[in-house]
Amino acid sequence: MNQAFDLEQLLTDPVVAALARAEETAWFAAAPTDTAAGIEASGIDPAIVDDARVRFGRFAPWFAEHFPDTRATHGILESPLVGIPDMQAELGARFGADLPGKLWLKRDDALPVSGSIKARGGIHEVLEVAERIAIAAGLMAGTDDARVLERPEVREVLSRHGIAVGSTGNLGLSIGIVASELGFNTTVHMSMDARAWKKELLRSRGVTVVEHAGNFSDAVAAGRRTAEEDPSVWFVDDEASLSLFAGYSVAGARLAGQLASLGVTVDERHPLIVHLPCGVGGGPGGVTFGLKAAFGDAVHCVFAEPTHAPCMSLGVRTGLHDSISVADIGLDGLTAADGLAVGRPSRLVGEHLQQLIDGYVTVTDERMKAFVGLLHDTEGIDVEPSAAAGFAGPWRILEDETYRAAFGLDDAALANATHVVWSTGGSMVPSAEMTGYVAEGQALINEVSWR
């Protein structure tokens, strides 16, 4: 992580220079990589996707009993996929270009239990740890219904173990809520970007919240150090966890099922283009892996980041990955998109998955907030600013003829395209705070430059 680099040389790259100026950027891969080759190059076993899917299934009865908002899906944690034609039309008018195909919103802001994409990965890792401990103690078999964890003797064993995590907020929420429900001693190390209501909610569930004056990376480092000093504590590492990654990856097959049920075709001439907000990269990276496993070359994945915290774009563009931070190019890392306020990217995703990622888009806070206002006005859907980062992506693709030509996205293919903006959080935001997000976004709609 202390790799030396020549900053002056890096800044000769126009994209890196624009990132350093906190300008909006968009850059795409020069040529596609065959999905099978990309997955092989990642070094990640695709079997982890099915393993995580099966684990979620084993725990479904437990969730249905412990979390009422999962009963309608019999304990399966999944979010709706909804068409947003009015938002598509409004953005087309403002960007000055109609978007071919159809625009959808994958509403992970409405995921049960913790209301964000982090419920996929964070919860999965907690479940895997609980199973492992119970099996090692001889109190559970790998095929058991997870409700065996409710037995007093199992809860007593789990209570002797701890789970710790460093978080800007939503990952801490997902882990804290489920780990505390299972009986773990849970500690969440939170950065200065985390919202006060998230800290209060965790504390109300008996979770220890440790606040750090630094950023996300500082909170992760502190949590990791604490866990290393106590062998009974399992640290959930958002920068490098395959278990988190596996939990996110289940979304690929789930989305495939939703699109099939809606009669939406996905193939080479009917491309699926997914726009994923990115913080450290674990969430969008895992989802990308799952999407590629489900759809192959027919899916295109684009990451979206705040202009003040474009850590993945910077890491991949320079080839330095987690050896460079946004602070190294003079950025403060401060953004209203608290879940995306990360200065240094995940090497697991940047280095190992870069061949499967089509492109990287950065968005100003003002534009993200304006998207929040527009989504409220056009579709009546309220999300956090971080959840709206992906809305610029479809129009950035329209502007890049070189990328479209290289990836076979001609006019006919785009006319059949399915664009999915992945929403990351919002349903648990207190109403007063959400009202503030919406009002601020509405005020910015006519202030930002759209063309």
The tens place of each residue's pLDDT in the chain, 451 residues long, gives 446 799 999 999 999 999 999 999 999 999 999 999 999 999 999 999 999 999 999 999 999 999 999 999 999 999 999 999 999 999 999 999 999 999 999 999 999 999 999 999 999 999 999 999 999 999 999 888 899 999 999 999 999 999 999 887 889 999 999 999 999 999 999 877 788 999 999 999 999 999 888 777 788 888 888 888 899 999 998 878 999 999 999 999 999 999 999 999 999 999 999 999 999 999 999 999 999 999 999 999 999 999 999 999 999 999 999 999 999 999 999 999 988 999 999 989 999 999 999 999 999 999 999 999 999 999 999 999 999 999 999 999 999 999 999 999 999 999 999 999 999 999 999 999 999 999 999 999 999 999 8
Are 7-114+243-444 and 118-240 in the same CATH fold? yes
Inter-CA distances, 303 with 37, 265, 313, Å: 21, 23, 8
Cα 212 from chain centre: 22
Whole-number pLDDT of residue 3: 60
**CB 67 within 8 Å of CB 135:** no
This prediction has a pTM of 0.95
Fold of 118-240: Rossmann fold (3.40.50)
Whole-number pLDDT of residue 1: 47
Quote the Cα angle for 358-360-364, to 5°. Answer: 155
Domain ranges of the chain: 7-114+243-444, 118-240
Residues 6+ apart with CB under 8 A from 57: 76
Q: Is the domain covering 7-114+243-444 a CATH 3.40.50.1100 domain?
A: yes
Q: For residues 443 and 451, what is the distance between their CA atoms, to the nearest angstrom?
A: 18
Q: How would you class 148 by CB atoms within 10 Å of its CB: exposed for 0-12, middle for 13-18, buried for 19 or more?
A: middle
Percent helix, strand and coil across the chain, each to the nearest 5:
55, 15, 30
Sign of CA dihedral 220, 226, 227, 233: negative
Q: For residues 90 and 71, what is the distance between their CA atoms, to the nearest angstrom?
A: 36
**CB 136 within 8 Å of CB 207:** no
